[in-house]
Homo-oligomer: A and B are copies of this chain.
Amino acid sequence: MKQLVLGIDIGGTNTAVGLVDCHGEVLAQAAFSTKQFGSPEMLVKGIAESYHNLASGLLEPVELKAVGIGAPNGNYYTGEIAHAPNLRWKGRIRLASMMEEAMGAPAVMTNDANAAALGEMIYGHAKGLEHFIVITIGTGLGSGIVVDGEMVYGKTGFAGEMGHTTAVRWGRRCSCGKDGCLEAYVSARGLRTTALELLEEFRYRSLLAETPPERLNAKAIFDAAMRNDEVAIRAFEFTGEVLGASLADAVAYTSPEAIFLFGGLAKSGDLLFGPTQRSLDHNLLDIFAGTVKLMPSALNDQNGAILGAAALACKTYWKD
């Protein structure tokens, strides 16, 4: 019998599931639309069906040791998704216990950024590190903070919400309703807003001026930057400047030895890393100079979100 965990990444658009061994090998995986499910019960049923289909396709019979779930606003302490703005089901959803019943194996949940940090710790570049932070940059910005080798969950289970710390006091309105949040600047949405602001000033200099606003997304800005478009490059520079300054704050809080960038925007390479590193260096307090490395997540080119959820299951229920 092959022993495995089920890693589940629930996103507003898609849900991905994977059968993972504790070396981080994804033996089988599937993804499907989250929005097709009218209720959490139907989602759980869909995930269970997907698991059985995947398992029956493997050569060896499978023993499911545990289930790990990464979900927006997923709470490690309660196993609930609480008021996730990107999901259609509102209120508190007891997803961990529902999955437990459906699968007959223990289930544990956390938010997607914490799952990414656990993935980095168990399968990625953070193996053996006691103090590190993973920043996930996609539509929004999340963070998972590890201190003394343990995930920081805090009193509520919601610790590590760096996306909604203030990057610019009295700054840009964020989707959470606050002003100047890091996420309002450093995210796919934030990059787009920055590009639109820059276009007002430098319209005549940019390829992006030709792009219809509804198609002006992070991908389009990245492509333009790769073609040396001044506005696109400046948009990345400003994004990195804001991110690096907030990372310097994060270092002042917990003094990590490494910070990993994970997710869509983290794949922009030097376009983002260059200005972020310069701003981090510039804003870092002297006592921290040279103590912290900035690098891409090892999981960026893999099934990072599935691996993160699997890592949570392994760390919690499979200590061998």
A residues near B, CB below 8 A? 73, 82-83, 130-131, 145, 147-148, 150, 152-162, 164-169, 171, 176, 178, 180, 242, 245-246, 248-250, 252-257, 283, 285-288, 291-292
B159 x A255 contact (CB < 8 A): yes
Q: A159-B253, A283-B178, A285-B176 are in contact. Are A154 and B147 (CB under 8 A)?
A: yes
Minimum CB–CB distance for A67 against chain B, Å: 24
Contact of A166 among B155, B162, B256, B283 (CB under 8 A): B283
Between A83, A171, A287, the greatest number of chain B beta carbons within 10 A of the residue's beta carbon is seen for A287
Alpha-carbon distance between A307 and B96 when the two chains are bound, in angstroms: 44
For the residues of A in contact with B, the DSSP-based class is loop
Minimum CB–CB distance for A118 against chain B, Å: 16
A246 (CB) vs chain B CBs: closest residue: B166
A256 x B148 contact (CB < 8 A): no
A170 (CB) vs chain B CBs: closest residue: B168
A164 x B82 contact (CB < 8 A): no
B152 x A254 contact (CB < 8 A): yes
B255 x A166 contact (CB < 8 A): no
B156 x A255 contact (CB < 8 A): yes
Alpha-carbon distance between A20 and B285 when the two chains are bound, in angstroms: 35
Minimum CB–CB distance for A77 against chain B, Å: 11
Inter-chain contacts of A291 with B (CB < 8 A)? 155-156
Copies in the complex: 2
A285 x B178 contact (CB < 8 A): yes
A254 x B130 contact (CB < 8 A): no
B283 x A156 contact (CB < 8 A): no
Contact of A155 among B82, B131, B159, B250 (CB under 8 A): B131
Minimum CB–CB distance for A63 against chain B, Å: 32
Inter-chain contacts of A155 with B (CB < 8 A)? 130-131, 255-257, 291-292
A145 x B253 contact (CB < 8 A): yes
B157 x A255 contact (CB < 8 A): yes
Minimum CB–CB distance for A292 against chain B, Å: 7
Alpha-carbon distance between A165 and B254 when the two chains are bound, in angstroms: 12
Given contact pairs A155-B257, A166-B246, enumerate 7 new A-B contacts (beta carbons under 8 Å): A145-B254, A152-B254, A153-B255, A156-B287, A157-B255, A161-B252, A161-B253
Contact of A162 among B157, B253, B292 (CB under 8 A): B253
A158 x B255 contact (CB < 8 A): yes
B245 x A169 contact (CB < 8 A): yes
Minimum CB–CB distance for A125 against chain B, Å: 15
Contact of A161 among B145, B160, B285 (CB under 8 A): B285
Inter-chain contacts of A153 with B (CB < 8 A)? 255
Minimum CB–CB distance for A249 against chain B, Å: 4
Alpha-carbon distance between A242 and B156 when the two chains are bound, in angstroms: 24
Alpha-carbon distance between A120 and B208 when the two chains are bound, in angstroms: 56
Inter-chain contacts of A292 with B (CB < 8 A)? 155
